[in-house]
């Protein structure tokens, strides 16, 4: 828990932030292969929630808007809907990021389940995907899968962030 409160400026790890978003966009393109991958979370949203929850010197609302527009173009959905969802979730993270930083990784993963469930609800209300009975289970399992990916991403990004901050 002590590692969470080391102050690191987002400028110290700017390239890591950019590369993590590019990598997340590449992972998001896996969902384009077919509808069988509905259980995969939006990796860009996970990375966005990580960076907005761990750095206090930047709000990431503009980044949420840009990443949301990229998600709209990637999924060929109505321009601005993913951007709106990403901004709402980023704002929610900003409202309690000080508490979130103090949580252990399993507690953060439980919070991510709530964030991703809200994402699924907003996604269902705004984009109304056509789901068969077999696809509904994987659609609603996504928040739980996102929690497992959060554990991996957060551990990896914590390690990389601390290494890059020490080097500078």
Cα gap 62→123, rounded to integer Å? 20
Q: Is residue 32 part of a domain?
A: no
In a domain, 45, yes or no: yes
Q: What is the mean pLDDT of each run of 10 residues along the chain (168 residues)?
A: 58 90 93 77 96 89 96 92 97 94 95 97 88 84 96 94 70
User: What residue spans of the chain are helical by DSSP H?
Assistant: 14-28, 43-54, 61-75, 81-95, 97-102, 105-127, 133-167
pLDDT at 6: 57
Tokens found for residue 166: 């020490």
C-alpha torsion sign, points 73, 125, 41, 92: positive
- Residue 163, Cβ density class (10 Å: 0-12 exposed, 13-18 middle, ≥19 buried): exposed
- Number of domains into which the chain is organized: 1
Is residue 12 situated within a structural domain?
A: no
pTM of the model: 0.90
Q: Is the dihedral of CA 8, 157, 16, 91 positive or negative?
A: negative
Domain membership of residue 1 (yes or no) is no
Spatial CA neighbour of 44 closest among 22, 62, 72, 61: 22
pLDDT at 142: 94
Query: How many whole angstroms from its chain centre is CA 158?
Result: 15
Position 111 scores a pLDDT of 97
Site of tokens 């469930």 = 117
Predicted pLDDT of residue 2: 44
CB-based contacts of 140, cutoff 8 Å, min separation 6 = 120
Residue 5 lies in a domain: no
Q: Note whether residue 148 is domain-resident.
A: yes
Q: Do the domain assignments include residue 136? A: yes
| Residue 81 domain-assigned (yes or no) | yes
Domain range for 153: 39-160
User: How crowded is residue 68: how many other Cβ atoms within 10 Å of its Cβ?
Assistant: 26
């Amino acid at each position: 828990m002590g590692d969470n409160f080391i102050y690191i400026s987002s400028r110290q790890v700017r390239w890591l932030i950019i590369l993590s978003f590019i990598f997340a966009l590449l992972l998001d393109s896996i969902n384009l292969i077919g509808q069988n991958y509905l259980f995969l979370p939006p990796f860009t949203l996970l990375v966005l929630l990580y960076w907005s929850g761990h750095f206090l010197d930047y709000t990431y609302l503009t980044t949420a808007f840009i990443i949301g527009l990229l998600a709209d173009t990637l999924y060929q959905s109505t321009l601005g809907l993913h951007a709106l969802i990403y901004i709402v979730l980023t704002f929610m993270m900003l409202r309690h990021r000080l508490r979130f930083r103090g949580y252990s990784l399993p507690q953060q993963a439980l919070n991510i389940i709530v964030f991703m469930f809200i994402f699924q609800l907003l996604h269902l209300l705004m984009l109304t995907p056509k789901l068969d009975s077999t696809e509904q289970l994987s659609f609603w399992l996504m928040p739980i899968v996102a929690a497992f990916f959060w554990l991996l991403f957060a551990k990896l990004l914590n390690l990389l962030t601390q290494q890059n901050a020490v080097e500078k």
